[in-house]
Chains A and B, each alone.
Chain A
Amino acid sequence: MTAEAVPTLRPGPRAWVLLILTEGKLVARDTAGLVIPLGLPMLIMVMNGLGSDRAPVPEFGGLPPLDAYVVPLTIAMVVALVGVVNMPSFLAAYRKTGVLRRLSVTPAHPAMVLVAQVVVSFVQSVSGVILALVVARLAFDVTAPRSALAAVGVFLLIAAAMYSVGMLVAAISPTVNSSVAIGLVVFFAFFALGGGFGGRENLPDWLATAGAYLPFGAGMDALGACWTGTGPHGGQIVALTVTAVLAGVASARLFRWS
């Protein structure tokens, strides 16, 4: 028997747009899930803004700590929470409930839904950051980063690193609960070691060093350097890039579709 005339087409741009819009709707319907990316950063800005006297600090290049420390910390935190905790829980649920398996018997590769979820998560992160910055700007006169272009670049790099780690969390989590648990543990490890709960100087040297090169610490410091205008240093950029690549490759190898 000879092969019949069967089209080879993979889904086109329309399918991609629909898939991304659909993922967006699903994420928006998960109202509780929006508190962290949209609500938390604004809350942090407001609480810290109200407590700030805007006194310049020399080691922050003459900027108040709100600008050079709190804002970068908030940005890095939003991306980390969305990328490492929220996104993997969606993907783990998709695997657990057979959504990925169902897609695998259509012309759409299940990887499409992963990409769509990353896009939607990224939009959430960006929205959360923009909201927080608008509040910071209007209510507390937070300045724009002195190296604005570098700040955008660093933001993208942090997102790449965090989303790769999130993909890895999704890849190794057998259930939705375990993905949230693993995601939170990873997030808090990054956050605590990176200086999220206060300066790293209180940690043992080797832990402080590790924290400075893990994605949260490296990202926050690099963003802070964009605000003060000194610019990120090479080690931070390399650390973020290496994390993105390693976690990305590992998740691609380990990801199970069903």
Chain B
Amino acid sequence: MSGTSPVIEVDELCKSYGGTVAVDEVSFAVARGEIFGMIGPNGAGKTTTVECVEGIRKPDAGRISVLGLHPLRDRARLRQVLGVQLQHGMLPDRLRVGEALTLYRSFYRDGVEPERLLAELGLTASRNTAFADLSGGQAQRLSIALALVGKPRIAVLDELTTGLDPQARRDTWELVEQVRESGVTVLLITHFMEEAERLCDRVAIIDRGRLAALDTPDGLIARAGVQQRVRFRATGPFDRARLAGLAEVSGVTTQRGEAVVTGTGDLAHAVNAELVRQGVVATEIRLDRATLDDAFLAVTGRRPAPDGERE
């Protein structure tokens, strides 16, 4: 936790709707300046958890502290320092981009110049475009701008790249990294594993209302014990038994003339070193690296939702 006190502390949070448990004793802490991700299947309780942090939902039990503030009792103060990008929060159709930013800026005591934010987000040319006429990417960038216009210390971004094309998604990721570099702590909810892996310092996997795992993306992948695969073609024969005898290797097979080695740890290096020892030259070495997708599957027993779906 890098020594500094956490900016968000959630302690044994519980929330039910009717008889359905949405969040069940979830605890975590977010450190200052980190990008903290929350991933999980649809309806897992991510959004409910974050809504409790934002103070727009009342928990049944548990303790939440955001910058030392109580989300419900200290609502007015929390609003000044917490920038929120909502999954479904919208603007009136006829409101223009520039008007929206100027209006939202006026709500905050401290803030960023709307013009500067427009420029940073590539919205200057759309300044006079009505909200209803924005493309998906532009609307998403505007919603990020609105989350940042009050110069927040914490930004909560909910499904921020859903509906964006791959290029717009990458641009948005860069933007989130810039936001963090400017000293803002980011709480990111996503169902894109690639997004979480690329952006987050730490990731909480929420499943059926419970915190199923919490670690760095690499840590989650390693902890899941997911097998890696190395594929290669050899220029000559090699000793399969010695390859299979390596500590990292759990199996060696051949598929379509390609050797496929499965195992864990630093597999590619171990295989390569062994082949060198045997004097065999391998061509087309490819490592099928385990991803957060695999870790997610290992933790929850389910594949992450495909692109485009959301809660």
Contacts and interface: CB of A to CB of B under 8 A. Distances in A.
Q: Chain A interface residue count: which class?
A: 20 to 34
B77 A7 contact: yes
A105 B77 contact: no
A10 B150 CA distance: 13
A6 B65 contact: no
Contacts of B78: 6
A26 B92 contact: yes
B136 interface: no
Interface in B43-74: 54, 56, 65, 67-69, 74
Interface residues of B, number: 38
B95 A26 contact: yes
Nearest to A113: B92
Contacts of A104: 56
Contacts, number: 96
A144 to B, nearest CB: 38
B88 interface: yes
A81 B216 CA distance: 59
A30 interface: yes
A6 B102 contact: no
A15 interface: yes
Contact of A106 (B5, B110, B150): B150
Given A1-B9, A1-B68, A3-B67, A9 B88 contact: no
Contact of B68 (A2, A11, A25, A29): A2
Interface string A116-149: 0000000000000000000000000000000000
Interface string A97-113: 11101101111100000
Interface in A182-241: none
Nearest to B6: A1
Interface in A70-100: 93-94, 97-99
Contacts of A99: 89-92
B94 A98 contact: no
B106 interface: yes
A98 B76 contact: no
B84 A105 contact: yes
B92 A94 contact: yes
B141 to A, nearest CB: 15
B68 A3 contact: yes
A19 interface: yes
Given A3-B69, A7-B80, A107-B76, A102 B106 contact: no
B106 A105 contact: no
B192 to A, nearest CB: 22
A114 B71 CA distance: 24
5 contacts: A3-B74, A11-B108, A15-B106, A97-B93, A104-B56
Interface of A: 1-4, 6-11, 14-15, 18-19, 22, 25-26, 29-30, 93-94, 97-99, 101-102, 104-108
| For the complex of A and B, 4 pairs with smallest distance between CB atoms | A102-B89, A3-B68, A105-B84, A15-B106
